[in-house]
């Protein structure tokens, strides 16, 4: 499991517990290992960012936002394919995220097929 996770680990960063549970459950159902973090700070502190093959993150979170997390990872030269899921994403925010290297920018509630396609694409890249 550990070696497998090292290669294909999906990290979930969302302050909402229900959302974390739902995303982990979905990934488990398609056989993808995942780890969930309640905040961007927790994710950065865990040191898991270097083993993460795909990141699913919320934009608006208490403390560091999803976009700030993306910028921080970019600054650390840790380019993880990132999928943002947010409840209130405007066009400007979307463009900013995509320009900074986000794979996709999805609004809640999202289509699980589309999400999984994006995750698989990120893992294969």
Partner 1 sequence: MAGEEAVGPPRNRSRMKALSKVRRYGLAMISCGIALAAAWPIDAPASCFLLAVTLSSLFGGLGPGLLSVGLSAIGFGYFFLGRTVPPAVEPAVFLRFAVFLIASSLITGVMEIKRRVEQSRNRAEEALRQAQSDLAHVSRVTTMGELTASLAHEVNQPIAAAVTDANTCLRWLNRDHPDVEEARAAALRIVKDATRAAEIISRTRLLFKKGTPQWELVDINEIIREMVALMRSEVTRHSISVRTELAEDVPQLTGDRVQLQQVLMNLMINAIDAMKDGDGTRELAVKSQRAENEQLMVSISDTGVGLPPQQADQIFNAFFTTKPHGTGMGLRISRSIIESHGGRLWAADNSPRGASFHLTLPVEAEAHE
Residues linked to residue 36 through DSSP beta bridges, in sequence order = 12
Helices and strands in the chain: count of H runs, count of E runs: 6, 5
What's the distance, CA 36 to chain centroid?
9
CB of 33 to partner 1, least distance (A): 15
Structure-token pair, residue 7 = 């290669």
The reply to whether 109 sits near partner 1 by the rule CB under 8 A is: yes
60 is a contact residue toward partner 1 (CB under 8 A): yes
Report the residue from 5, 22, 38, 100 that binds partner 1 according to the rule CB under 8 A: 22
Q: Is 90 in the site for partner 1 (CB under 8 A)?
A: no
Contact assessment for residue 48 and residue 74, using Cβ atoms and an 8 Å cutoff: no
Q: Which residues lie near partner 1 (CB under 8 A)? A: 16, 18-19, 21-23, 25-26, 28-30, 60, 62, 85, 87-88, 108-110, 112
């Amino acid at each position: 499991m550990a070696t497998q996770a090292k290669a294909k680990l999906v990290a979930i960063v969302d302050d909402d517990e229900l959302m974390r549970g739902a995303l982990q459950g979905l990934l488990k159902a398609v056989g993808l290992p995942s780890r969930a973090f309640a905040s961007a700070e927790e994710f950065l502190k865990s040191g898991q960012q270097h083993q993460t093959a795909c990141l699913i993150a919320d934009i608006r979170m208490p403390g560091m936002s999803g976009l700030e997390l993306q910028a921080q990872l970019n600054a650390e030269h840790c380019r993880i394919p990132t999928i943002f899921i947010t409840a209130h994403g405007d066009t400007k925010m979307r463009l900013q995220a995509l320009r900074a290297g986000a794979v996709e920018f999805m609004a809640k509630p999202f289509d699980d097929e589309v999400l999984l396609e994006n995750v698989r694409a990120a893992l294969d890249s």
